[in-house]
Amino acid sequence: MSVHVLLFDAGSENEGIHSLELNGTTVVLLFEDRDDAERYAGLLEAQDFPAPTVEALDRAEMEAFCGNAGYEARFVPAGFLPQTAEERLLIAPPERNMDVTSWRDQEEPAAAMAEPDTAGGGNAELEAFRRRLEGLL
């Protein structure tokens, strides 16, 4: 099953995946519906984030990647209706965002970042995963 994630600088050396910091855990959103992911990407752009790319990837591979990287994968089903303030972050980004200029320079993904953050940079594990994903295309 495919899910949709938000990538920054897709295909480049500085590729990063959008994530949120929730209760001390780095969370990567896995959208079931592409339209939901694109709407979320548009909301990020409206908050002066760089324009993310919506990519369809295999859910099992994304969950494995998140587990290996120490992230929590959160599946956002189509038609999701939040019941709590935390769940609202799964369909709309928080008003306060991290300064996105710093994520590109970090060696360790998502280390001590504020919400929402992007993980990427020179991580060899992330680079290997990106190559495997490119092979799927």
Distant-in-sequence, close-in-space partners of 116: CB < 8 Å, separation ≥ 6: 18, 19, 20, 21, 44, 93, 94, 97, 98
Banded pLDDT at 128 (limits 50, 70, 90): low
Cα separation, 54 vs 13, in Å, equals 18
Q: What pLDDT does 36 receive?
A: 93
Is 92:47 a contact under the CB 8 Å cutoff? no
What is the bridge-based pairing of β-strands 16-22 and 72-76?
unpaired
Domain 1-92 has CATH 3.40.1350: yes
State the pTM of this model.
Answer: 0.68
Banded pLDDT at 119 (limits 50, 70, 90): very low
Residue-wise pLDDT for 55-66, tens only, equals 999 999 999 999
Backbone angles phi, psi at 127, to 5 degrees: -65, -40
Is 82:91 a contact under the CB 8 Å cutoff? yes
